[in-house]
Amino acid sequence: MNMGLRIPPSPLERHTRLLLRAYPAEYRAERSGEILGTLLEATPGGRGWPTLRDSVSLVTGGIRARADLNRRAPLGTALRQATIIGVSLFCAHRAGASLQELARMPHFSLLPSVADAVLLILVAVLAWTGSRLAVLAGALGTLATGMWWDQSDFAVLATLSHGRVHAPGIGALLQNAVPLAVPLAVLVGVTGRSARPRIGWLAFPGISLALALTAVALQMWNVYQVNAYPSALGTALISGRGTGVFLLAGILAAAWLVTDTRPALGVAAFLTVFTLPDYVSNTSVFWHDFYGTTSSSSLETIGAGFVLMAALTLLLRHRARKGTRTVS
């Protein structure tokens, strides 16, 4: 007698298990057997799927269960996780900008862009480990590498070494260092074991990297392999990558909003908080006096982002309170 014989599951069982994935893993581990057995008994024979009513009930029940589970996260932890999403999206976006240089610069100048992109991606991923020390080390390495390779900062270092403070050099330092240092400092501050983000949220920085790599691949293929002319699609992806990242990440966060507010709040943070350092550096007295430029056009975006962040924070707070009442 073959005791190892295993009867494969019926189509009804396979499809029911598929619908059960709408529930959180913890819930499935505890109650999936009970739900599966009840449905298999109640479904008429010969069907490959549960009835429409039972299918809808499974999916909506899973959504409610996920929403209830997400509400149990403390408000402070949820805000820290949303911030990590926003900063990691910022890091990926900036890494994408460095990778785009691969399609423009000669081969001997590729190392700075590659090193900058790799370090930024590493810092973003390290936040998912929950180790603040590792994120701090990665952030310091990223800043040091960026300052080392940024030619405009050599003037700052040179003037300071001679005991003089050169105002245009300070403006260059503000323009290049501040927009990167501020988000990285925020990331170090919010990282922790209790605020480790979910693996699925890596999709948000992944969107930015995917767009950048696609644009670079199209440009390099056309320039180096085909006809030495940039790809029209690649050029469009590069010029509109910022808008594309926000739209795609916003659509994904909006879909997630049914069960969780944190991804949407993270995308709003990416739009808002991490636009401020660029605005501050470009409107500083040094930059304005010596280069005559400001970036006041971003004020509307910053204001709209703050309003969105405030609304999502209130929603997150409301859901967290509701989850606390449910648990108690």
Domain locations in the chain?
11-68, 74-327
Instruction: pLDDT band for 263, please (50, 70, 90 cuts).
Output: very high
Read off the pLDDT band of 152 (50, 70, 90): very low
Residue with tokens 């320039």: 223
Question: Could you give the percent of the chain with pLDDT greater than 90?
Answer: 18
Residue 98: CB atoms within 10 Å: 21
Which pLDDT band holds residue 276 (cuts at 50, 70, 90)? low
Least confident range of 18-32, 83-97, 165-179: 165-179
Whether the predicted pLDDT of 191 surpasses 90: yes
Average pLDDT over residues 15-31: 84
Structure tokens at 311: 């609304």
- Whether pLDDT at 139 is above 80: yes
| Beta carbons of 159 and 197 less than 8 angstroms apart | no
Q: For 18-37, what is the mean pLDDT?
A: 83
Compute the average pLDDT of residues 205-219: 84
How many Å apart are CA 210 and CA 249, to the nearest integer? Answer: 12
Amino acid 278: pLDDT: 55
Identity of residue 164: R
**pLDDT averaged over every residue in the chain:** 76
What is the Cα Rg of the chain in Å? Answer: 25
Query: 294 — phi, psi (to 5°)?
Result: -135, 170
Q: How far apart are CA 25 and CA 20, in angstroms?
A: 10
**What is the value of pTM for the model shown?**
0.77
In the predicted structure, residue 161 carries a pLDDT above the cut 80: no
Q: Count of alpha carbons within 13 Å of 190, Cβ hemisphere only?
A: 26
Confidence (pLDDT) at 34: 81
Q: Which residue has the higher pLDDT, 327 or 201?
A: 201
9-46 exposure pattern, b = at least 16 Cβ within 10 A, e = fewer:
eeebeebbeebbebbbeebbeeebeebbeebeeebeee
Mean predicted confidence (pLDDT) in 99-111: 66
The answer to whether 196 touches 126, Cβ cutoff 8 Å, is no
Tell the burial category of 111 from Cβ atoms under 10 Å away from its Cβ (0-12, 13-18, 19+): exposed
**pLDDT exceeds cutoff 90 at 122:** yes
Range 234-239 average pLDDT: 65
- Counting residues of the chain whose pLDDT is more than 70, the rounded percentage is 69
99 vs 202, which has greater pLDDT?
202
pLDDT, position 235: 66
Q: How confident is the model at residue 127 (pLDDT cuts 50, 70, 90)?
A: very high
